Structure 1
Amino acid sequence: MQSNILIVGGGAGGLELACKLGRKLGPQAVTLVDSRLFHIWKPSLHEVAAGTLDVHQEGLSYQMLAHDNGFTFVYGPMLALDAAQRQLTVGAIYSGTTGQAEREEVLPQRRIGYESLVLAVGSTSNYFGVPGAAEHTISLNATEDAERFRLTLLKLLTQAELQKSTRPEAGVDIVIIGGGATGVELAAELREASGVYAAYGFRQLKAERDVRITLLEGAPRILAPLPEKVSTAALELLHQRAVKVVTDTRVTAIGADAVTAGDTVYPAQIVVWAAGIKAPDFLAQLGLPTVKSGQLDVDARLAVKGHADIYALGDCAACAGPDGKLVPPRAQAAHQQADYLAAHFLRRRQGRPPQERPYVYRDYGSLVSFGQTTSVGSLMGSLKGLSWFVDGMVARLMYVSLHLMHHRAVLGTVRTAVLALARFLIKRSTPLVKLH
């Protein structure tokens, strides 16, 4: 198989790039490779984990998106890269799960040739060597992680409900490690969802008393990269929701039922790791230049250094701005980089000279969700250092609009509007949380 432009990774940036190029160039020219069949916007995984968003309704089929946007989809994990021969190896797909005695091969291992390769493989959790972190925590890196958390929470709620008559203290202890956007959003969403779960049959449980949520952060304040006013507002909202927040603390060990931070031990039946990310380990095995964080070292035009035909975008790319600082791992950065590379490839196909301007990240601010009714954040102005604090319903509507903008990029305006209306109506006729 041969493709002019081969994109690996169907996250926000990779998928948007495939859609933009596919509509212009067609399936013979553009191919997307991903190890999953469905796409979900990663910033919404905390809602999937809490059960307030059904992944089976939210997920978008890559095969459908390929058909509608004019690119080719290849299902399978990236195994190897032969940069000299410009060939990528995609792993086989098997039925069943790992460990089963008999697993049938559904798709064989394949090799795909390319003229240009774009790596958009995202990031994975960075445990910083904390003992027990990899074995005893859940990280919201993918849909299966969020679903595992949700099902575990349902099981623990059921057990606590059954034990309540004989053990008044029975409940669920949840510890979230990391006070960035993921950790804060999950804590708020869980508090809102726990009240809904209690109303749907867990009648002996009182959400604020029996679903005990603790958020641990190593920095002096939560949401440390954002303006202090946003951090203060977020802390107040968490306190209102009976979420225990502990800052300036370092987790030293994680066990099957507890988290240790210095001299303090926090009981924990579920532990979520949201304290940091890193590039996937396999990038270091590709023979491409990487930086200390494991990210691919790219130049100002997002080309991997020393490889004019290989590009990288999103969390897996170490792209320095004019000030020397690396572009932050945010969805808006991946979106901007997808736009930049789409323009680059289209110019080249049209026989026009390459873009003279390098890629420059533009920070439009950050919004943090606090359940289904409110958000907080800051919006950046066109003047350097100028920002506006936003909160409440206005901020929530703006947060939702970011999700819709991503859907618009891959589905188009009309279908996004129809989908938004359909989901609004479905929420009026189904449980507010997923119960199975």
Structure 2
Amino acid sequence: MNLAAPEAASTTETKLHRIIIVGGGAGGLELATQLGDKLGRKGKAEITLVDRARTHIWKPLLHEIAAGSMDTGRHELPYQAQGHWHGFQYRYGEMIGIDRANKRIHLAPTHDEDGREITPDRWFSYDTLVIAIGSISSDFGTPGVKEHAIMLDTPEQAEKFNRRLLNACVRAYAQPGPVRPGQLHVAIIGAGATGIELSAELHHAARGLVAFGLDKIDPEKDIKITVIEAAPRILPALPERISEATSNILKKLGVEVRVDSRVTSVTDQGVNLANGDFIPSELVVWAAGVKGPDVLAKLDGLEVSRSNMLVVKPTLQTTRDDNIFVIGDAAYLVQDGETAAVPPRAQAAHQQSTHLVRQLQRRINGDRQLTPFKYRDFGSLVSLGNYSTVGNLMGFISGKSMRIEGWFAKIMYRSLYKMHEVALHGPIKVALDSVSRLLTRRTEPQVKLH
């Protein structure tokens, strides 16, 4: 590890407790915002957020970006502006290592699209480090995935798929012959929430796209969506009744569902299955399995799980360093002796960030006796775009779940995003922004055309 001296700004003597949060996803940005308001603005601590992107997008929205039914520009939040408004500093860069003995993080240099350096190789010192860099898709070493499929881990990947879909439709419309078999077929590998939500959103968005003058394309015949799942049913992490209800809706839409189907390879023409079947598709999305980013295995000896996530104690502190906390998808926490970790959901990241706000305030006040985190499962919701929303809510009657579907479920699903926005902006700004978006949607296409 390079133990070069940290940059001058990091060696400046200060009495303020330095909290660095790496990762500006749902949990990381909410934590930075709340700590900035409570500690940073009041001069009680120095709060710094580090992220390799410049803007924040709520990850559960990525399937809408991929389908082209959501304009990224209207929902992305610049970290620099959020830090200015809420009392924390933002540092642009990607963490590539840490020095636990000297309590420093190492950021790689950044470059623009022409290769010119934007920020140099840097080190930043901390008193408390919070890692919230999320998870990434795991291809399980399947041949052809990296070359021919697109994952939906970042807004850039979602936008890349949307451009590929749009270009495929324009290409099919402009070519002299008919649409080739598989040319406009979409294969979605993985029938978790991301894959299922994307399938329904694509069904609606693709028809909206064709309606804007691409009349040579028959959406019922030329556009086909196939969801492929290795497990015996879709949404395997959710209750079976939710899986059945969702399957029935997808069948009515004409979405083909292939369960008990393991993918052996992906080519530029389609997907090969273990049973010998070949699914023709020139548009492939990989949404199967998650793991921790590779950097987590290189953090100065911190313990990682088999899925490469950082193992943490009930206090959310890493097992080998009490000065380092982990929240969100990057954390592998086993509660009450259970073998299943806290699920990688936005509600878990939200709960952990809220918990850590209180605990870090106690920590900088000298209280080392931290309260263990307890995850509460409030249920799961799956959005099927304009068609329906299904899910279950937990804890209403002695911990039992209640299935919901339709309009009420859709309102509950949208409220999750609103809760995230309120945590970042407050209720007044969110209310005004919601009205503005509602008015704007009345005057613009419902799908992205460029």
Distance 1:257 1:168, change over 3 A: closer
Quick check: 1:47 aligned with 2:70?
no
Secondary structure of 2:127's match? strand
CA distance in structure 1 between the partners assigned to 2:306 and 2:270 by the alignment? 32
Equivalent residue, structure 2, for 1:274: 287
Equivalent residue, structure 2, for 1:62: 79
Per the TM alignment, residue 247 of structure 1 is displaced from its structure 2 partner at its CA by 0.5
Could you list the structure 1 runs, at least 4 aligned residues long, displaced by more than 6 angstroms after superposition: none
Structure 2: state its 5+ residue gaps.
1-8, 11-16
Please, which of 384, 402, 411 is the counterpart of residue 397 of structure 1? 411
Structure 1: state its 5+ residue gaps.
none
CA distance in structure 2 between the partners assigned to 1:353 and 1:113 by the alignment? 21
> Bigger shift: 332-341 or 166-175?
166-175
Quick check: 1:376 aligned with 2:402?
no
Equivalent residue, structure 1, for 2:350: 335
CA distance in structure 2 between the partners assigned to 1:138 and 1:384 by the alignment? 42
- Which amino acid in the other structure matches residue 85 of structure 2? D
CA distance in structure 2 between the partners assigned to 1:154 and 1:408 by the alignment? 33
> Bigger shift: 203-212 or 83-92?
203-212
Equivalent residue, structure 2, for 1:174: 186
- Which amino acid in the other structure matches residue 40 of structure 2? G
Quick check: 1:285 aligned with 2:298?
yes
Equivalent residue, structure 2, for 1:237: 249
Please, which of 195, 200, 209 is the counterpart of residue 197 of structure 1? 209
Secondary structure of 1:329's match? coil
Identity across matched positions, percent: 43
Quick check: 1:20 aligned with 2:31?
no
Please give the per-residue CA displacement for 1:18-58, whole angstroms capped at 9, x wherever unaligned. Answer: 01100011165110000000000000000000000011111
Please, which of 23, 46, 49 is the counterpart of residue 9 of structure 1? 23
Equivalent residue, structure 2, for 1:122: 134
Equivalent residue, structure 1, for 2:325: 311
- Which amino acid in the other structure matches residue 7 of structure 1? I
CA distance in structure 2 between the partners assigned to 1:396 and 1:314 by the alignment? 24
> Bigger shift: 282-291 or 23-32?
23-32
Secondary structure of 1:79's match? strand
Conserved? CA contact 2:172–2:179, under 8 Å: no
> Bigger shift: 198-207 or 30-39?
198-207
> Bigger shift: 20-29 or 145-154?
20-29
Quick check: 1:221 aligned with 2:236?
no
- Which amino acid in the other structure matches residue 391 of structure 1? E
Equivalent residue, structure 1, for 2:5: none
- Which amino acid in the other structure matches residue 285 of structure 1? K
Equivalent residue, structure 1, for 2:158: 146
Conserved? CA contact 1:176–1:187, under 8 Å: yes
CA distance in structure 1 between the partners assigned to 2:214 and 2:29 by the alignment? 40
Conserved? CA contact 1:79–1:90, under 8 Å: yes
Per the TM alignment, residue 383 of structure 1 is displaced from its structure 2 partner at its CA by 5.1
Equivalent residue, structure 1, for 2:145: 133
Per the TM alignment, residue 354 of structure 1 is displaced from its structure 2 partner at its CA by 3.0
Secondary structure of 2:227's match? strand
CA distance in structure 2 between the partners assigned to 1:15 and 1:330 by the alignment? 15
CA distance in structure 1 between the partners assigned to 2:278 and 2:293 by the alignment? 31
